[in-house]
C-alpha cells in the first residue's frame, strides 16, 4: 500500500481532492483545514458536583446552614475555575525471553485531579470545602469518617462537562468514588490584586468519558 498524505494528496484516491483545498477554489469552498479543525476550548467547561454534598455538608437546617441548603453543589460549580488534566495509565508487565523484552498492560494507575476554586464571599466556599475534607478526617475530633454497613459516606461523584461555543454539552467526564485528598489555601500578599483561591486535590476510583445523554 502506497504512503499518501491526508491533507495534500487526498489519500491518493482518484477523484478525491486535497483535504487542504485551494484558496482560489472557483466553487468558493473553504479548505478543510479552515473548517474541520475547530475544537473544544479549554475554557468551555463546568464542574458538576453530586447533590448529595448538600446533605453531607449542611445536614441540619440551622440559621448558619440555611443560606447554603438549596444550592451548595451548584455553588461549588460556580466557584470552580480550573481543573488539571485528567489521566490514567497502565503499569508495565515486563516479559523477558531469550534476547527479547516485551511488554503487556498491567494494573491501572489513576492520577489525582486538582480543582482550583474562587473563595466566593456569598457562599463561603473556603469554609464548606474545609468541611468537605472533614468528611474524610475531622481535625476537631481526630476521627476518620465512619462507615455504615460497610458503605463509606464520604465518597461521591463529580462530572466535568465540555461545551461547544453555543453552550451545548458535547462530552461528559464522569469521576466515580471521589473524595477530597488535600486542601490548600491561596497565598496572602498585600502586593497582589487577585481573588483568593482554594486548591483541592481529589482522588477517584473510576473515570469515564462519554457523550451527553
What local confidence, expressed as pLDDT, does residue 190 receive?
93
**79 class by beta-carbon count within 10 Å (0-12 exposed, 13-18 middle, 19+ buried):** buried
Percentages of the chain per state (helix, strand, coil), in multiples of 5: 20, 40, 45
Domain count, the chain: 1
Q: For residue 145, is it within any domain?
A: yes
Q: List per-block mean pLDDT (blocks of 10 residues) for the chain, which spans 213 residues.
A: 64 58 61 75 89 66 50 75 90 96 94 91 82 83 67 80 92 92 91 92 93 91
Please report whether residue 58 resides in a domain: yes
**What confidence score (pLDDT) does residue 161 get?**
92
Q: For the whole model, what pTM was predicted?
A: 0.78
Q: Quick check: is 35 in a domain?
A: no
- Domain assignment present for 15: no
Beta bridge partners of 172: 161, 210
pLDDT of 71: 58
The C-alpha cell that represents 107 in the structure block: 494494573
In a domain, 173, yes or no: yes
pLDDT at 45: 92
We report the CATH number of the domain holding residue 183 as: 2.30.110
pLDDT at position 147 is 55
Give the closest residue to 127 by CA, choosing from 201, 198, 182.
198
Predicted confidence at residue 146, as pLDDT, reads 60
Q: Give pLDDT, residue 107.
A: 94
> What's the pLDDT at 150?
55
Among 86, 87, 58, 61, CA closest to 74: 58
CA–chain centroid gap for 148, Å, is 29
Instruction: Tell me the residue length of the chain.
Output: 213
Q: Which domain holds residue 205?
A: 45-210
- Inside any domain, residue 125: yes
Amino acid at each position: 500500500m502506497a504512503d499518501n498524505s491526508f491533507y495534500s494528496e487526498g489519500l491518493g484516491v482518484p477523484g478525491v481532492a486535497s483535504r487542504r483545498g485551494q484558496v482560489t477554489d472557483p466553487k468558493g469552498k473553504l479548505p478543510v483545514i479552515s473548517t474541520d479543525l475547530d475544537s473544544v476550548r479549554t475554557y468551555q467547561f463546568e464542574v458538576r458536583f453530586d447533590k448529595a454534598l448538600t446533605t453531607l455538608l449542611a445536614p441540619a437546617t440551622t440559621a448558619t446552614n440555611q443560606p447554603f441548603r438549596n444550592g451548595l453543589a451548584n455553588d461549588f460549580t460556580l466557584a470552580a475555575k480550573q481543573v488539571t488534566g485528567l489521566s490514567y495509565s497502565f503499569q508495565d508487565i515486563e516479559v523477558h525471553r531469550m534476547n527479547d523484552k516485551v511488554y503487556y498492560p498491567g494494573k491501572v494507575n489513576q492520577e489525582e485531579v486538582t480543582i482550583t476554586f474562587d473563595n466566593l464571599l456569598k457562599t463561603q466556599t473556603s469554609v464548606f470545602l474545609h468541611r468537605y475534607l472533614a468528611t474524610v478526617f475531622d481535625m476537631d475530633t481526630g476521627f476518620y469518617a465512619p462507615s455504615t454497613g460497610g458503605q463509606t459516606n464520604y465518597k461521591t461523584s463529580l462530572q466535568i462537562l465540555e461545551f461547544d461555543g453555543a453552550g451545548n454539552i458535547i462530552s461528559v467526564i464522569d469521576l466515580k468514588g471521589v473524595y477530597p485528598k488535600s486542601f490548600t489555601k491561596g497565598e496572602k500578599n498585600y502586593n497582589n490584586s487577585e481573588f483568593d483561591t482554594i486548591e483541592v486535590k481529589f482522588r477517584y476510583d473510576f473515570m469515564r468519558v462519554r457523550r451527553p445523554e
